Structure 1
Amino acid sequence: MGNRVMMSVVTIVAACFISACSSGAEEDKQHAVDVEVRKEGFPIVDEEITMTMMGPNAQGTEWKDMPFFQDYAEETNIHFEFNTPPASDFGTNLNLALSSGDLDDIIYGPIDLTSGMEGEYGEQGLFLPLEDLIEEYGPNMKKVLEERPDIKKSITSADGHIYALPHINTDHRGKWVNPVWYNGKWLDSLGVEELPESTDELYDLLIQFRDEDPNENGEADEIPISSEGMDPIRMLFLNAFGLKSQGIEEIDGEVRYAPITENYKEYLIYMNRLYEENLLDPETFSQSEDQVNAKGQENKIGLLGGYYSYFLTGEANDEAVNNPMTVPLTSPVSDELIVTASQGFNRGAFILTEENPYPEASIRWADYFYTEDGGVYLDQGPEGYRWEWADEEKNKRNQLPLPEGYDNTEEYRKTLTPSYGIAAPFLNPPLEVKEEPDAFALFTIDETEEKREPYYQVAIPEVSIKREEQKEINTIEVDLESYVEQMEAKFITGVEPISNWDKYVETIKGMGIDRYVEIHQEAYDNWRSN
């Protein structure tokens, strides 16, 4: 990093005195004392300190080996011992830590941490309130919250405290929710010039995919749509039927539960038709991600559900510009063009626990990432790996060639930084700030501006739910979400006939869905009134 992160030649030093104030079994716990924390500039502390950090490993690389953590430790004098279970197991590990009180100093990028959990553990004293720390030691975060009151009210818990820093994405991909792409080779083979704009037109194209040998191998091995479950492709079809979510959504101020609407029923009928006619892979609900990717790399899939199409096809970036993004679809029950969008930020990305001996230093450590330079640093890793400065003034970055053995940028990036695959605590700046966009990046910018941005709708804003009401939601969700997903698969595959729709709806109502919606309606109304 060097001088590029120096915020000022003048360093204001604040002494932060932290004393041990525990009793019983806590009396022997080591606490820090007399730690001087700089309010500006680096290093953050003059003497090296060490803390513990818990986070979900979605990268496959040990965090201690990442250049980001190694480089930033040298700049800040803040080092970490890491507790990073696999992302798939993180929720279980976090719940065990919270229930036992055996907490690390910092929880980084936690998965499935609800607003109610933030508030509950905050009120119990397990999570530290951050608003005063932000005021004193987080000037960049403070500026963001002043400029984005929507973010501030969404990360503020029902008790009025902020217990976690957010992940904020201003990149053009920041609002993407499950994009879907066409196999461009198949479109070229079939001479398709206009992409489908309705579910009927898509059905016709899928028939062509199935019957007209678009992969040109002389075999009937084409799979028009294949996916690992419905998650990667579901939103394209829900949107076509006038829905923004497979759960709670807000329509003109009214909150509803999408899976019991007539529109959702029509979605199931359509997907069942695709399944019955071998347009949707019969292995959709049983195969792994690796199995889907293997089919994609053999050029057997026509509709590609993935963050980038090359995740499935194995193509190089410059080849993937031939795979166009789907356009929003209409259907017989909805003529509105909808693309579900995230708000561009997530709450709960960085938490200080009651065990943290250096809260001021911890906020300073994270605050740099809410600047453009800091955002690039966390997202792309230190200079010299993915990028280098293109000019002495440090106004422009050049992207460096991939090292040997890496086929695409994401495969390499995930070895450098913990921002891959989780909601890391930072402000992710626009792509053009991070690097000179290549052909693929320019392609995704154009596709987003044309096919997504004009039709963006958020299912429901990030709202704060009171502690007791979150407990009610958790109780309901235990059975509700698994039941809805199981029944989705059964309806689509025909194991459950759609004639049993009314029975399905009654079952959901018996799970307390009216109360579930009521709680979300109240939270939404409170959010809107703030």
Structure 2
Amino acid sequence: MKKFLLSLSMMFVLLSVLVACGDDQSDAEGNGNDANGEKVEVNKEGFPIVDEKIELSLMAPGVGIEEWENMVTLQEYEEMTNISFKFTTPPVSDFQTRLNLAFASQDLPGIILGAGTDNLTPGMEVDYGSQGVLLPLNDLIDEYAPNIKALMEEDPEIARSITTPDGNIYSLPFINNHPTAVWARGPLWYNGEWLDNLGVEELPKTVDEFYDLLVRFRDDDPNNTGEDDTIPFTDVQMNSSRAWLMAAFGMKEWGIEEHNGDVRYAPMTDNYKAYLEFMKKLYDEELLDPETFSQADEQKKAKGQENRLGLFPDWFSFFTTGRTEEEALNDPMFYPLTSEWSEERIVPGNPGMVRGTFSITKYNENPEASMRWIDYWYSQEGRDFFDKGPEGYLWEANDDGTRTPLPAPEGFESPEEYRATLTPTYGITPPMLGGLVEGEPRSDFDLFIQAETEEKITPIAETPFPLVYLTDEEQKTVNTIQQDLSSYVEQMEARFITGVEPISNWGDYVATIESMNVDEYVQIHQEAYDRWAQN
């Protein structure tokens, strides 16, 4: 009996110790204590962030070129902030598996950085946030993140897009302010040499004018070869051009899109039928490359290098034509078209954000310091520092405030490869403000791209559908419906345009889509959109 009572007594003592440890951990997480249990004071402005050095733990994808602890940018930032790190950086290819295991075992670091939505999905944010595994960041942003807060106030869509259905923010995004950030995909480019040869002084601005120009590309020997070898317009599976042509018929996305506050499935609208009829006309009259649905990108580029293409998609025109950047200054960007279906120009725009790039877990003993640490990345000065590293490696400052790029040291093929050894922002989606580096020289081609974008895309770009959060149940339903739906629509687009399936069968096509639970699919997205709009 005595032994039993003694054992029972020891159990109570042990339980008391565990409870006390749990209370200490809770205090550490909420108040920001150091290893000795003393309160860590966080400076709300300037550097260092904390007067007494602290260590945090962080997990991020590694690209395998350099260990994070050896990167000079992080080393210098440690000196600036008084915050050091224990880094866990599994390879990018293994990161999702390792992160899932960390959540399952609750063996998590204090910070998860650079995961992105492919690894830290919106559903995981909602799930682990509601469980308390990921900390809500709302109050921390208000108190310790003036740069992030200013960006959110400047663009309310940022806050809407990172706020989960319970009203909390569990992850910070990558915010892209680069001049081309608005691109939903690579643009279409006209062959400037052909336009010059034909004396074209103004680009088409309606579908009828566009059709007329393609006819001239086919018939008027714009490449001056004297042969019937021109291809007015080409693509690979229509994957790059589709959005630009659909926009001429009043659609922003080949799927779910928001239209005046209502959610619809564009591939079953009359607008989409009109798009298919127009594309079939181009195909039938050999204005659209007959190999569009069978060729690979390499074949498209080969035709461009033979000067056989009049209009084609690519990130930059010289990627297809093989010309120089200087010569590419003569290749104008496609001008968005209007039609009877869309009298006002629209183009699909990129929301300019990637979610899931920075989260703080419940195991973080200093969430306030962590938020201040990352907030610097969202300033112009901080993003320049983390993008190009400290002075003396990739750049040096001039007296007038500009920068002179420095060549990569011997043994590196390019400055970009060298950059991967200096800063962690290479090869991952970092939590930061993306954009131009202040004072960095820009080429004539860079300025040309910006001018074309600001004239033809930026003023009219609209996000097809915002970044919303779905519940776990909603996401499972969407995944089940979407796979079959997308596969069917993709197959039928090619069949309609090439004439394998007559467009007179449109009614059967729509009926098939309706049988795939498209109404439920649309309703789920409508409810998610309404939640987003109310934030």
2:462 is aligned with 1:457: yes
Comparing 513-522 with 489-498, which one deviates more in the overlay? 489-498
**CA separation of 1:451/1:144 partners in 2, compared to 1, >3 Å: closer, same or farther?**
closer
Aligned with 1:106 (options 86, 89, 112): 112
Q: For 1:303-318, what aligned pairs fall within 5 Å after superposition?
A: 303-318=311-326
2:256 matched residue in structure 1:
248
Q: Deviations over 1:110-130 (max 9, x none)?
A: 244654442134324554433
> Does 254-263 or 290-299 show the bigger shift?
290-299
How far did residue 162 of structure 1 move?
A: 0.9
- The answer to whether the 8 A contact 2:165-2:531 is kept is no
Q: For residues 255 and 390 of structure 1, do their structure 2 counterparts lie closer, same or farther at Cα, with a shift above 3 Å needed?
A: same
1:175 equivalent in alignment to 2:177:
no
Matched, 1:470 2:492: no
Cα gap change, 1:303/1:388 in structure 2, threshold over 3 Å: closer, same or farther? farther
Three-state SS of the structure 2 residue aligned to 1:485 is: helix
For residues 253-291 of structure 1, give each alpha carbon's deviation from its aligned partner in whole angstroms, at most 9, with x where no partner exists.
222111110111111222233334443334434444444
| Counterpart for residue 28 of structure 1 | none
Match of 2:247 among 224, 239, 248: 239
1:150 to partner: Cα distance: 3.1
Structure 2 CA distance for aligned equivalents of residues 208 and 287 of structure 1: 24
Q: Does 1:400 align with 2:408?
A: no
Classify 1:316/1:423 alpha carbon distance in 2 versus 1 (closer, same or farther; 3 Å).
farther
Aligned ranges 1:293-372 → 2 under 5 Å = 293-352=301-360, 362-372=370-380
Judged with a 3 Å threshold, the aligned counterparts in structure 2 of structure 1 residues 75 and 54 are, in CA distance, closer, same or farther, namely closer
User: Structure 1 residues 414, 74: CA separation in 2 closer, same or farther (over 3 Å shift)?
Assistant: closer
C-alpha separation between the residues in 1 aligned to 2:319 and 2:240?
Answer: 12
CA positional deviation for 1:370: 0.6
Q: Aligned to 1:503, which of 505, 508, 514?
A: 508
Show the 5 A alignment for 1:405-420. none
Distance 1:144 1:90, change over 3 A: same
Contact residue 42 and residue 75 of structure 1 kept, 8 A:
no
How far the C-alpha of 1:334 sits from its partner, in A, is 2.6
1:110-149 matched pairs, under 5 angstroms: 110-112=116-118, 115-125=122-132, 127-149=134-156
Amino acid of the structure 2 residue aligned with 1:507:
T
Residue 276 of structure 2: aligned partner: 268
Give the structure 2 partner of residue 186 of structure 1: 194
Give me the whole-angstrom Cα distance separating, in 2, the residues matched to 1:197 and 1:265.
21
Distance across 1 between alignment mates of 2:413 and 2:333:
21
Per the alignment, in what secondary structure is the counterpart of residue 256 of structure 1? strand
Structure 1 residue 106: deviation in Å?
1.9
1:389 is the counterpart of 2:397: yes
User: 486, 492, 515: which is aligned to 1:487?
Assistant: 492
Given the two structures, how large is their TM-score scaled by the length of structure 2?
A: 0.77
1:224 paired with 2:232, answer yes
Map 1:25-64 → 2, pairs under 5 A: 33=35, 39=43, 51=57, 53-55=59-61, 62=64, 64=66
Are 1:529 and 2:531 matched, yes or no? Answer: no
Report the Cα distance in structure 2 between the residues aligned to 1:409 and 1:315, rounded to whole angstroms.
23
Structure 2 Cα separation of the partners of residues 303 and 462 of structure 1: 32
CA contact (8 A) 2:58 2:85 kept: no
Separation in 2, partners of 1:408, 1:160: 45
Distance change in 2, residues 1:457/1:144 (3 Å): closer
User: Deviation at 1:506?
Assistant: 1.6
Amino acid at match of 1:491: F
Contact 1:238 1:267 in 2 (8 A): yes
Over the residues paired in the alignment, what is the CA RMSD in angstroms?
A: 4.1
Closer/same/farther in 2, CA of residues 134 and 226 from structure 1, 3 Å limit: same
- Alignment CA distance shift 1:370-1:52 (3 Å): closer
Mapped partners of 1:355, 1:286: distance in 2: 52
- Larger deviation: 337-346 or 397-406? 397-406
Call closer, same or farther: CA 1:34–1:203 in 2, change over 3 Å: farther
Output the amino acid matched with 1:284. T
Displacement after TM superposition at 1:223 (Å):
3.3
Partner of 1:75: 77
% identity of equivalent residues: 50
Instruction: Decide whether aligned partners of structure 1 residues 109 and 297 sit closer, same or farther in structure 2, where only a CA change above 3 A counts.
Output: farther
Q: Deviations over 1:492-528 (max 9, x none)?
A: 3333332332222122212222122222222323333
- Paired with 1:108 and 1:458, the residues of 2 have a C-alpha distance of 24
Aligned to 1:424: 430
Gaps of 5+ in 1: 1-18, 22-31
Larger displacement relative to structure 2 (229-238 or 452-461): 452-461
> Could you tell me how far apart the structure 1 residues matched to 2:370 and 2:298 are?
38
Q: Are residues 262 and 515 of structure 1, via their aligned partners in 2, closer, same or farther at CA, if it must alter by over 3 Å? A: same
Separation in 1, partners of 2:415, 2:311: 23
C-alpha displacement at 1:109, in angstroms? 4.7
Q: Distance in 2 between matches of 1:135 and 1:363?
A: 10
> Which structure has the larger Rg over C-alpha atoms?
2
Residue 171 of structure 2 corresponds to 164
- Conservation of the 8 A alpha-carbon contact between 2:333 and 2:452: yes
Structure 1 CA distance for aligned equivalents of residues 497 and 41 of structure 2: 58
Match of 2:287 among 275, 279, 289: 279
Does the CA-based 8 Å contact 1:117-1:470 persist in structure 2?
no
Structure 1 length-normalised TM: 0.78
Aligned to 2:15: none
2:450 pairs, out of 423, 445, 448, with: 445
**TM-superposition CA deviations, 1:314-334 (whole Å, max 9, x none):** 444333221111111012433
**Amino acid of the structure 1 residue aligned with 2:66:** K
CA distance in 2, matches of 1:103, 1:209: 60
8 Å contact kept, 2:395–2:405: yes
| 1:379–1:174 distance in 2 versus 1, CA, 3 Å | farther
Is the CA contact 1:108–1:349 (under 8 Å) kept in the aligned structure 2?
yes
User: 2:344 corresponds to which letter in structure 1?
Assistant: E
Using the TM superposition, give the Cα deviation of residue 151 of structure 1 relative to its aligned residue in structure 2, in angstroms.
1.6
Sort the Cα spacing of 1:93 and 1:373 in 2 relative to 1 into closer, same or farther, 3 A. same
Deviations 1:364-393 (A, max 9, x none): 44321110112233445554566442337x
Letter in 1 for 2:533: R
Q: CA deviation at 1:70?
A: 4.2
Q: 1:425 to 1:398 in 2, by over 3 A?
A: same
CA–CA separation in structure 2 for the residues paired with 1:334 and 1:277: 24
- Rounded to whole Å, the distance in 1 between the matches of 2:335 and 2:367 is 47
